Structure 1
Amino acid sequence: MSSSRVYGYLRASTDEQDAERAKSPLLDFAAQQGFTVDAWFKENESGASLKRPELFRLLDVARTGDILLVEQVDRLSRLNSSDWERLQGLIKSKGVRVVALDLPTSHQLLHTGDEFTNRMLSAINGMMLDMLAAIARKDYEDRKRRQRQGINKAKENGRYKGRPVDEKLHATIKELLQEGKSYNKIIERHGCSRATIARVAKTLRNPE
């Protein structure tokens, strides 16, 4: 891969999920292919949103020919078509090559050839990437639809109670807020979301 750098991108959708889980299979793949991962970028953000600061930080430092390595295409995108076009356009403009473990055609991009071969591989990989991104979006929409159907059915039967509250975490956040700790410090210490802290803060301002 000459002087190209490889950046591993790890993403999980929620704070409760472990983004680090994919690191091991990516390291195994790198070892099999004979290269090392130069840096890791990890975040807990929805793949259906462009609110991905670590992904954009990766693309900001990447240079032409560098590799963006992911376990699966859906770690990169569950975006709608317009947002995917924006992200894909940025990736192309930077000249970054996307390699995903679940996209075998992309593995060949790790090994450079002549210009014609490289262009052909990039074109084929681009089409396959588009297809898998579309499938990932459909899977996301299908799951959301099933969740809504399940919630509506539970409501009709009087069984819907919403997501259970982590009382222990809320109590800890409450104590830290009362001690004057910042949102960022609490997030760093406990890995919770800003929205969760805001809900606890609201109960402090408006106790029942």
Structure 2
Amino acid sequence: MKIGYARVSSDDQNLDLQRDALRLAGCERVYEEKESGGKVDRPELLRLFEALRPGDTLVVWRLDRLGRSLKHLIETVEQLEALGVGFQSVTEAVDTTTSGGKLVFHIFAALAEFERTLIRERTRAGLKAARARGRHGGRPRLLSEDKRRMAQALRDDPSQSVAAICKTLGIARTTFYRYTRGKKVEP
């Protein structure tokens, strides 16, 4: 069975164009949604996924109606594939129920993976170059070495409470524990 999914971003937009295209594509049922594509939880899309059965085909008017990004679209189509459900986009002529459609979609997926790998490699190279110039990433330390030693010394004084130590040093409890946990006072 072909099941359609139509989505517009706001109430003032019209679903007629998508509805007509999905009926023309042979959809027996059409789930309609008026939600932003950026929203993770789209109630009608969730209802649609619950209704899908192996052998069904999910049909959309355009790819951007289903996925917020290429990555999200690929993940969604992979979910469909795991359910034994095909995917079809009317406008882009993508149809994973055919071998050619699967090829096109896997090319999209490969390009997205390639892009993620390039971004990861550029990030690592940038961090390595920054370290070579003496720069280190991450958050700046909240306690200097002197303040850390003072916190440890105060921790070992039984008359001092953690709350008092934190107030004296102007730090939160989590910071105190992060810098003093399991460490001995050093002279």
Normalised by the size of structure 2, how large is the TM-score? 0.51
The count of corresponding residues between Structure 1 and Structure 2 is 113
One-letter code aligned to 1:18: N
Q: Secondary structure at the match of 2:54?
A: coil
Higher alpha-carbon deviation: 38-47 or 85-94: 85-94
Partner of 1:124: 103
CA offsets 1:148-178 (integer angstroms, 9 cap, x no match): xxxxxxxxxxxxxxxxxxxxxxxxxxxxxxx
Whether the aligned pair in 1 keeps the contact of 2:77 and 2:87 (CA below 8 Å) is no
Paired residue secondary structure (1:21) = helix
RMSD value over aligned CA atoms?
Answer: 2.9
> Residues 7 and 68 of structure 1 are in contact (CA less than 8 Å); yes or no, is this contact kept in structure 2?
yes
Residue aligning to 2:5: 9
Q: Encode CA deviations 1:23-75: one digit per residue, 9 max, x unaligned.
A: 11222333xxxxxx221100111112222111121111111120111111111
Name the CA distance, whole Å, in 1 between partners of 2:92 and 2:112: 11
Closer, same or farther: CA 130–50 of 1 in aligned 2, 3 Å: farther
Q: Which of 76, 82, 86 matches 1:87?
A: 76
- CA drift of 1:101 comes to 1.0
Structure 1 129/94 Cα, relative in aligned 2: closer, same or farther at 3 Å? Answer: farther
One-letter amino acid of the counterpart of residue 48, structure 2: L
- The AA in structure 1 aligned to 2:24 is D
Displacement after TM superposition at 1:9 (Å): 0.7
Output the amino acid matched with 1:76. Answer: L
Match of 1:63 in 2: 53
The structure with more radius of gyration: 2
Q: What residue in structure 1 maps to residue 19 of structure 2?
A: 23
For the Cα contact (< 8 Å) 2:22–2:30, is it kept in 1?
A: no
CA distance in 2, matches of 1:89, 1:14: 28
How far is the alpha carbon of 1:122 from its aligned partner? 5.4
What does residue 90 of structure 2 align with? Answer: 101
- Aligned-pair CA distance for 1:80: 6.4
Question: 2: CA distance between counterparts of 1:69 and 1:104?
Answer: 11
What is the deviation of 1:127? 2.3
In the alignment, the residues of structure 2 paired with residue 131 and residue 15 of structure 1 have an alpha-carbon distance, to the nearest angstrom, of 36
Percent identity over the alignment? Answer: 27
Q: Secondary structure at the match of 1:24?
A: helix
Q: Which has the higher contact order (CA 8 A, sep 6+)?
A: 1
Bigger share in helix? 1
Contact 1:73 1:129 in 2 (8 A): no
What code does the residue aligned with 2:34 have?
A: N
TM-score w.r.t. the length of structure 1 is 0.46
Distance 1:14 1:133 in 2: 29
Q: Could you say if the C-alpha distance between residues 100 and 84 of structure 1 is closer, same or farther in structure 2, counting changes exceeding 3 Å?
A: closer
Corresponding residue for residue 31 of structure 2 = 41
Query: Which stretches in structure 1 are left out of the alignment for 5+ residues?
Result: 31-36, 110-117, 135-208
